Each structure stands twice: as C-alpha cells, then as structure tokens.
Amino acid sequence: MIVTIIAFIIVFGVLVFVHEFGHFYAAKKSGILVREFSIGMGPKIFAYHKNGTTYTWRLLPLGGYVRMAGLEDDEDTLQKGAPVSLVLNDDQIVTKINTSQKKILKNALPLIVTDWDLQKGLWIEGYENGDEEQVKRFKVDHDAMIIENDGTEIQIAPLDVQYQSVSVPKRLITNAAGPFNNFILAIIAFGLIAFIQGGVQVETNSNQIGTVQTSSVAAKAGLKADDRIVSVDGKKTDNWQELVNAISSRGGKETTLVVKNKNKTRQITLVPKVVKQNGEKIGQIGITEKIKTNHSIGAILSYGFVRTWQIIVAIFAALGQMFTHGFSLNDFGGPVAMYSMTSKAAHYGVLSVINLMAFLSINLGIMNLLPIPALDGGKIVLNVVEGIRKKPIDPNKEVVITMIGFALLMILMILVTWNDIRRYFF
C-alpha cells in the first residue's frame, strides 16, 4: 500500500511537473512573465523568488501549476477600502505592496486603498496613515512585488509582460510546450528502459509462450515456456492476439488447448480463471508472450522514439473508434484508474513503473492537445483563429468559451472518477 502511494505520487508528480515546466520554459523564452511556478497544491510550505518568478512548494504533493501574467484574475488581490502597506525606495517609488495580515513589514507605509493601476499606469493611491483628508498617489515600480493574502510574494503583471502582449506564434508555442514535454518524457523513459535492459524487447506476435506464472492455471495444467498453443477449443490461433482473444472469451469454461513443442503435439484441458479487467470479466490462464531481445546500440537509441510513436498511433486509433463505434466511459480513466494501474506496475518493479509513466505521459500529452476549450488544444485553436483573423478574439467571448469547456471537463471528470470507482472497487 505504502509503495503504491509513493509510486503514484512520484509518477503523477513527474507527469505534471514536466508538463508545466514546458509551459514555464516556453513562456519565459517568449517574454511572458511567469509569476509563480508551484510544485504541489494547497497551502504554501516554501517560496523562493528569482528572475521574476516565485517558486513555491505546497503541502499536497499532487499536481502543480504555472501562473502566467494575464491568464489569471488578479482583481481580488487589491480591494478598495482595504488596508495595505507599501515599501518605498529612495525615489519614493513603491517596490512592494503588502495585502496580507500574516506579514508585517518594517518601515512600511500604511495605506487605505482607493484606486490602483498595476498594468498600464503603474500607480496606487489611497489614504496615507488613515488620513482621509487627502488621497495620495504613489508610482509603482515595473518589477514591484505584491504580497497576497496567504503571504505569497509574487511580481506584479504589467501589460507589456502579459500573455496577450506577445505574438500569436509565441503564444501558440507556449500552449503546445506542455504536451510536447510529455512526449519528450516518454521518449526518455522508454530509452531508459531499453538501456537498463541492455536491449530492446520485441514482441514476436506468435502463439509461443514466453513465461508461465507460478501456481497459475497454465502451470497447473502443465504448460511450459516455448510451448505453442495452436488452437483453443477448436479455434485456430496463429498469433498472440488471436490466442488472447480466444482465451479471454472462455473465462470459467472448460477449454481444450492443442499445444506443440518441437515435433510433439498434445492436448490440455483447463478452465481459464475469471478476472476483472477495465470493468469487464475475461478469462486468463497466466502466460506471457515469447519476447526476443535486440541488443544493438541502434535499437536501444531509437527505441524511445519508435515506442512513443507506436503508442501515439494506437491512441489516435482508439480515439477514432470512439467516434465511429460509440462513446463509453470505460474508454476513459481518471486518478482512480491511474492509481490502480500504478499499484499493478509497482508490484512488478521499477521498470514497470517507468513504462507506465511513459504511457501515461503520452496520454496526457495527446489529451491536452484535443481541441477542447480550457485544454491546451483549445487554446491553440484560439491562437490559430486569431492568426487567421489578424485580430484578437473578443476577451469576453474567449472567457465564455473557456468556462463552458472547463464546466464540461469537470462534469466528465466526475463521471469518469465515479465510473472508475465502480470498475475497480465494486
């Protein structure tokens, strides 16, 4: 249980970190101010500010996020009539605005806020020291810091460093960088697996057994490694997929196998064990496919790219079938499904966990590229539309589109999570 939880946190954390770091790096290079880069969610444990970005470590070790200037609502940071304190430099320019009651700044000037502009004019005004006889305006430094209610210090977001102020191509690259990083992670992870194994395992797609699990139905029936199962209950099985399909349909039923090994042929009768997989009951006998290993350097170096591409093609094929053959919640998996898969992977060791992480990273990259509002793919579509129209999309319409997309995603996530709970725990 503990091993599964640790593995889940590591896998989930790495996936999110790599994804968000892609957005972070691209935004920085594009001239967009990244106000905060957070590891984890919830209350802040640690914070460090450098080069315009506040790096935070938060209590819950799941997820993370990047706050880009212009992409979050900052109106709640300052409020009219709220007490703040200002830190001024020698030129009487504000370098820090404290809105938090959790922090007290020495030699700071008390102010009751009446109005402000931290995007264009860069000023703040209010009643100094509670004196309501006169409103006083202070100039704010372009790189001034603001202390939020929870005590987090972040840089203010002037218009020239906001997301909307950079070119469309730069915004598009920034939005695509997260999924791109997920594909890079998968390539590296698969390459690492090949390197550790000393070669690339190649599925033969034959009807030959590679291993027989101890105490399994197959082991008790006398099946051994290198046996070839040429038919299942009279149905010919020329390759592994046909073999899997035939045995899967025989769960709990007495089944006769025709087995060959070298020049000897024999018949074996057994009853495949009924197991639950992805919400469906199938038959299993406890065997794995015969695997060959290519030890060449070229195979090892190229495996990450080849395997990543194979999975991308397979996922798009599965998505295509969803649209042509009907939609089912069983085609999706949320955090519960991910936890279940991590539990199984952790049982088989580190390489299995790395393999799962690579697979999930590809899934995360592709899902985020789908043209759905609130996802990276939806933002990319808006970037393309703006590039074609040669003018920005109405911000109000963009907000409505994003909110609708976000609401639909939340509904889907709730349905998928509930379906996962039913599939894996009931």
Q: Which residues are catalytic?
A: 20
Dihedral angle computed from the Cα positions of residues 262, 266, 269 and 270, in that order, rounded to the nearest 10 degrees: -10
Q: Which residues contact 410 (CB under 8 A, 6 or more apart)?
A: none
Residue type, 29: K
How far apart, in Å, are the Cα atoms of 89 and each of 103, 111, 116, 291?
Answer: 19, 16, 19, 69
Q: Which residues pair with 36 in a beta bridge?
A: 54, 67
The whole-angstrom separation of Cα 238 and Cα 277 is: 24
CA distance 33 to 363: 29
* Contact predicate 183/296, CB 8 Å: no
Q: Do 35 and 157 touch, CB atoms closer than 8 A?
A: yes
Interhelix angle 2-30/335-348, rounded to 10 degrees, is 120
Q: Give CA–CA dist 291/209, Å, rounded.
A: 9
Distances 331 to 36, 89, 199, 280, 423 between C-alpha atoms, Å = 35, 59, 32, 12, 12
Are the C-beta atoms of residues 179 and 372 closer than 8 Å to each other?
A: no
d(CA 164, CA 159): 8
Return the beta strands (E) in 3-122 as ranges.
34-50, 53-68, 83-88, 94-98, 109-117
Q: Which two tokens stand for residue 329?
A: 């919640």
Q: CA 98, CA 151: separation in Å to the nearest integer?
A: 9
Contacts for 222-229: CB closer than 8 Å, 24+ residues apart: 222/268, 223/257, 223/259, 223/268, 223/285, 223/287, 224/261, 225/290, 226/261, 226/290, 227/259, 227/260, 227/261, 228/259, 228/260, 228/261, 229/257, 229/258, 229/259
Q: Which residues contact 269 (CB under 8 A, 6 or more apart)?
A: 221, 254, 255, 256, 257
Is there a contact between 47 and 54 (Cβ–Cβ < 8 Å)? yes
